[in-house]
């Protein structure tokens, strides 16, 4: 609604805080989510579409069924409420293993973690993605081989998306986050946001997908994610979210759904949202926050893919040799653990083949090496060669 209004009423391209009209926010947030519009869903709760991963087992490997699911998820994120929950995304055994690693990492990092949008007792593990891979490759492989997670990522970001993750542990007494929008423009100050044309405001939300996996049960008193459905339709939200009037509207109209251990929530990064307060006496709420980025964009955190690959390659190679993990599940891991885009590169050296307009990506190199059962030593040489001929002179 808001997008069309800005297009049709004037030719203005650059906007400032003085242009914010909260009647527009109220209008877009007055929409209702109807179950009939999301036939693959289980229900609609508080305007949020809810799915159950158990219903999609038969979809995996069926391209038409996968496309049907991805299409519906896309519509929920773009034209719909901008948020959905998937129940039973992960089994307890996978999460318990990760939680033990999280605890080990937090002990190493006592006193160094922080939360950009909240103060208090919250604990944050930045770049949990890479840290878990280095700490326990098997746990990393189990986590990121998830078929449904891959489909969710593809529904918004397409193939070969880039994964980053940060653990948020909200302890008893942990304060609510200020409602906000996320990376890219959500991490810029308003004086910077004003410099971008409105097209960039709209484009920003297509570059990433936000998600969170409940690593513990999350009853309401522990503060699961609070969201304002349809607020991603508000074009000037990247300028408005720091405003007290925006916070007040959010606090009055936002919704919160209980999460169970293993559930996942995914939302458009332009959706106004924030972690809730943990008002319990003794419950430590653990969530692994996923940020999935288009391969065409820049991730929020720097990931040392080379370091991760050298650590997990022997484990993946063993799975390949013993056939204890299917090629498809290995590919799921590689999509997360490699740079799937062949650019930027040095085109003097990185020559394309007859059938391709680009050289080999890190993802393609690793996948082919595992198919060929290449040893770790030989793979490391191939990886080094790939790095060298992609560098500028």
Q: Give the bridge partners for 218, in sequence order.
A: 259
268 in a structural domain: yes
79 in a structural domain: yes
- For residue range 26-57, list pLDDT tens digits in order: 999 999 999 999 999 999 999 999 999 999 99
Over 50: is that where the pLDDT of 1 sits? no
Structure tokens belonging to residue 385: 């060669």
Over 50: is that where the pLDDT of 260 sits? yes
Residue 170 sits in the same domain as residue 37? yes
Total residue length of the chain? 393
Give the integer Cα–Cα distance in Å for 382 and 33: 50
Residues 166/124, Cβ–Cβ less than 8 Å: yes
Average pLDDT over residues 123-149: 96
Residue 13 sits in the same domain as residue 106? yes
Residue 278 sits in the same domain as residue 356? no
Percent helix, strand and coil across the chain, each rounded to 5?
45, 15, 40
Over 80: is that where the pLDDT of 111 sits? no
- Split at pLDDT 50, 70, 90, the class of 115 is low
Average pLDDT over residues 81-92: 98
Residues 128/102, Cβ–Cβ less than 8 Å: yes
Residue 273 sits in the same domain as residue 351? no
Residue 151 sits in the same domain as residue 13? yes
Q: What is the DSSP letter of 17?
A: G
- For residue range 309-356, list pLDDT tens digits in order: 999 999 999 999 999 999 999 999 999 999 998 888 887 777 654 445
Over 60: is that where the pLDDT of 185 sits? yes
Residue 245 sits in the same domain as residue 125? yes
Residue 285 sits in the same domain as residue 334? no
Q: How many CB atoms lie within 10 A of CB 204?
A: 23
Structure tokens belonging to residue 347: 């085109």
298 in a structural domain: no
- The pLDDT of residue 8 is 46
Domain CATH for 270: 2.60.120.620
Residue 289 sits in the same domain as residue 309? no
Average pLDDT over residues 216-222: 98
Pairing of strands 83-87, 255-256: unpaired
Residue 331 sits in the same domain as residue 372? yes
Pairing of strands 83-87, 273-274: unpaired
- The pLDDT of residue 342 is 86
Over 50: is that where the pLDDT of 82 sits? yes
Residue 162 sits in the same domain as residue 284? yes
Three-class DSSP category at 280: coil
- Split at pLDDT 50, 70, 90, the class of 303 is very high
362 in a structural domain: yes
Backbone torsions φ then ψ of 221, nearest 5 degrees: -70, -15
Which carries the bigger pLDDT value, residue 68 or residue 111?
68
Domain count, the chain: 2
120 in a structural domain: yes
Distances from the Cα of 46 to the Cαs of 174, 257, 267, in angstroms?
24, 7, 15
Question: What's the domain range around 73?
Answer: 2-293
Q: For residue 208, what are the contacts with CB-CB under 8 A and spacing of at least 6?
A: 157, 182, 183, 184, 269, 291, 292, 293, 294, 297, 300
């Amino acid at each position: 609604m808001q997008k069309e209004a800005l297009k049709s009423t004037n030719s203005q391209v650059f906007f400032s805080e003085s242009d914010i009209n909260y009647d527009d926010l109220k209008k877009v947030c007055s929409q209702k989510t109807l179950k009939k519009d999301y036939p693959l869903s289980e229900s609609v709760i508080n305007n949020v579409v809810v799915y159950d991963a158990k219903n999609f087992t038969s979809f995996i490997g069926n391209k038409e069924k996968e496309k049907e699911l991805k299409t519906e998820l896309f519509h929920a994120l773009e034209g719909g409420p901008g948020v959905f929950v998937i129940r039973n995304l992960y089994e307890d055994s996978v999460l318990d293993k990760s939680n033990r690693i999280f605890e080990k990492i937090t002990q190493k990092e006592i006193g160094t973690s922080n939360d950009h949008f909240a103060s208090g007792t919250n604990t944050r593990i930045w770049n949990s993605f890479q840290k878990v891979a280095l700490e326990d490759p098997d746990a990393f492989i189990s986590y990121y081989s998830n078929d449904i997670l891959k489909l969710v990522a593809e529904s918004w970001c397409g193939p070969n998306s880039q994964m980053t993750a940060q653990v948020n542990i909200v302890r008893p007494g942990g304060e609510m986050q200020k409602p906000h929008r996320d990376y890219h423009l959500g991490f810029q100050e308003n004086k910077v946001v004003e410099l971008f044309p409105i097209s960039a405001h709209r484009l920003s939300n297509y570059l990433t997908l936000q998600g969170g996996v409940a690593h513990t049960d999350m009853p309401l008193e522990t503060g699961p994610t609070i969201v304002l459905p349809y607020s991603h339709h508000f074009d000037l939200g990247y300028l408005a979210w720091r405003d007290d009037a925006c916070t007040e509207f959010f606090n009055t109209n936002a919704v919160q759904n209980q999460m169970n251990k293993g559930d996942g929530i995914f939302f458009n990064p332009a959706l106004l949202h924030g972690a809730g307060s943990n008002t319990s006496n003794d419950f430590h709420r653990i969530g692994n926050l996923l940020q999935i980025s288009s391969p065409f964009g820049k991730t929020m955190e720097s990931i040392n893919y080379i370091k991760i690959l050298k650590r997990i390659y022997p484990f993946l190679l063993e799975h390949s040799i013993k056939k204890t993990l299917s090629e498809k599940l290995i590919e799921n891991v590689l999509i997360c653990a490699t740079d799937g885009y062949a650019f930027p590169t040095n085109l003097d050296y990185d020559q394309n083949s007859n059938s391709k307009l680009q050289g080999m990506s890190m993802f393609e190199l690793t996948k082919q090496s595992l198919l060929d059962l290449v040893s770790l030593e030989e793979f490391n040489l191939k990886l080094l060669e790939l790095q060298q001929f992609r560098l500028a002179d």
